[in-house]
Structure 1
Amino acid sequence: MAESPRPVVFIHGLWLHATSWGPWIEKFRAAGYEPVAPGWPNEADTVAAARENPDAVADIGIDEAADHFAEVANGLGDDTILIGHSFGGLLAEKLLGEGVGAGAVAIDPAQIKGVLPLPLAQLRSGFPVLGNPANRHKAISLTKEQFRYGFGNALDQEESDALYERWTIPSPGRPLFQAAGANFSMHSPAAVDTKREPRGPLLLISGTADHTVPDVVTRSTLKQYRDAMTVNELQQFEGRGHSLTIDHGWADVADAVLEWLTVQGL
């Protein structure tokens, strides 16, 4: 009997809609996987609908999102692979540390508890939300200029603007505040069990030109796993920014992920 395709759950981060994973879904399905890309809790099915009703996702935090994606992954089976970008990367790490999934890939993952570097570029990228404490309980949209700095800084203006128009949606501010205060909170939702054993392998990916999650942050994240008796690896993409999952070079990243999964037997 033919073996069933292995499920893959793609988890997007803030300010991008779930449908931004569309090209990845096609590539992974062609490679023999069974991928899905669910939205965050209460996220509308389309970019347009999400923009029309931002309050639907206001006040969604890390734990609510983690519970939501855990339910999806567990419903697909224990052999599910988790692939997340930005806050989706943090969620993939968190779920893997809770025993969800057979392996995970965290692309430009938001900082987990214990990560200390806070580069100026990251502070500037987060300022549209963190600059106003009232944003903790709101859904916030980026301007085209803010997206250009945080996501599209390694692209030309035309491509950055096109990606902004195609994929951006309002996103909850609460996860940013939770991650920013993680090292000052005993029970932060941004905490990850980095020493869980046994668990599946983890790949961290960083873009060296990323402003939103600078490469130094991802390298510091890898150090949080230094005592883990599990596979934990890092791949760096030179000159790539936070848009690396959706811009013209997305296929290079996807191919690297597929190659790593093959090496890991996933």
Structure 2
Amino acid sequence: MRTPDPHELRFARGTMLAWDPPAPRPGAPALLLLHGAACGAWVWSEGFASRLAAAGHAVFAPEFNRGTADRPAGLADFLADARAALAALQRPVVLVGHSLGGLVAQRLLDAPHAAGLALLAPAPPEGLAWANWRLAMADPPLWRAVARMTETDGPADGALRRALFGPGLPEAVALHHLARLRPESRTALLEAQAPQPVAPAWGLGRPAVVFGGRRDPLVPPDAVVRTAAWHAAPFALLDGMGHAMMLDLGWEGLADRLTYWLEESFR
């Protein structure tokens, strides 16, 4: 299986990486991959997006614009970025959202050309306040590391290693990924604490699927289950994986599960 390399495309509000399928699958929707907090389009370029493209999908990964120190971006800005990327593709698209990007994907599901929804460790429609409070009570050092994700020297905090990745991921690989994290917008993270206006996928007639890590302390399994229930979607809790599922040990199996769901949902 030849794995395609990404190239960069410009659209109205920024840039996105794109992977062309070497053998397009007839009728396959394009995939719009939306990254999570402190990340960027790069999280998909470590193999995950190439594997999806090799399975026959055109894959696109926009970069969210976090704004400036004087005007940090809010969720509305991230939504506008994703909506502009979706409009630029002008074809049926399955929204694949991770973490904070999963919340953006859920709010975008009623957009024209949005054909379905796949969520990886998503921020739930109920908001993150409950999960955040539990983390503060159960693991104060990790909670403080998460709180510092908005600071210049915060995202690479080593305490995040055990939340983002399972114990099986080689330490050098984990540190390489941690070094690429960047400060997140405080405004967007604060807004994500509150319940969100998310229409259920079943009400829109769009297929959906939800994946989570069984040991993820940032979006815990019960939040994953509630998100799946909201959308009346199948879900899977994967062993040994942390929050950054597309980078963790076993990401290939996750990509293949997603590919299988796509093939079953879009025949």
TM over 0.5: yes
Q: Which residue does the alignment assign to 1:10?
A: 33
* Compared CA separation, residues 97 and 81, structure 1 to 2 (3 A): same
Distance 1:88 1:244 in 2: 13
Name the SS for the 1:168 alignment partner. coil
The answer to whether structure 1 residue 38 and structure 2 residue 62 are counterparts is yes
Q: Which residue does the alignment assign to 1:47?
A: none
Picking from 208, 217, 223, the partner of 1:211 is 217
Deviates more, 1:199-208 or 1:97-106: 97-106
* Compared CA separation, residues 93 and 126, structure 1 to 2 (3 A): farther
RMSD: 3.0
Instruction: Using the TM superposition, give the Cα deviation of residue 34 of structure 1 relative to its aligned residue in structure 2, in angstroms.
Output: 0.8
Name the SS for the 1:197 alignment partner. helix
The answer to whether structure 1 residue 70 and structure 2 residue 76 are counterparts is no
Distance 1:265 1:258 in 2: 10
Name the SS for the 2:198 alignment partner. coil
Distance 1:196 1:203 in 2: 11
* Compared CA separation, residues 57 and 31, structure 1 to 2 (3 A): farther
Percent identical across equivalent pairs?
A: 22
* Compared CA separation, residues 131 and 19, structure 1 to 2 (3 A): closer
Q: Which amino acid aligns with 2:83?
A: A
Instruction: Using the TM superposition, give the Cα deviation of residue 159 of structure 1 relative to its aligned residue in structure 2, in angstroms.
Output: 3.5
5+ long unaligned stretches in structure 2: 1-24
Instruction: Using the TM superposition, give the Cα deviation of residue 37 of structure 1 relative to its aligned residue in structure 2, in angstroms.
Output: 0.8
Distance 1:168 1:107 in 2: 18
The 5 A counterparts of 1:1-266 are 6-22=29-45, 23-41=47-65, 55=68, 59-98=72-111, 101-113=114-126, 117-118=130-131, 120-121=134-135, 124=140, 125-128=142-145, 130=147, 141-152=154-165, 154=167, 155=169, 157-165=171-179, 167-180=180-193, 182-183=194-195, 190-194=196-200, 197-225=203-231, 232-265=233-266
Name the SS for the 2:240 alignment partner. coil
Distance 1:56 1:253 in 2: 36
Q: Which amino acid aligns with 1:246?
A: L
TM-score for both structures, normalised by structure 1:
0.77
* Compared CA separation, residues 220 and 62, structure 1 to 2 (3 A): same
Distance 2:43 2:253 in 1: 16
Q: How many residues are paired up? A: 237
Distance 1:145 1:114 in 2: 25
5+ long unaligned stretches in structure 1: 44-54, 184-189, 227-231
Q: Which residue does the alignment assign to 2:19?
A: none
Higher relative contact order (CA 8 A, sep 6+): 1
* Compared CA separation, residues 248 and 58, structure 1 to 2 (3 A): farther
* Compared CA separation, residues 139 and 196, structure 1 to 2 (3 A): farther
Cα deviations by residue, 1:172-216 (Å, 9 ceiling, x for unpaired) = 122221122x14xxxxxx321126633311111110010111111
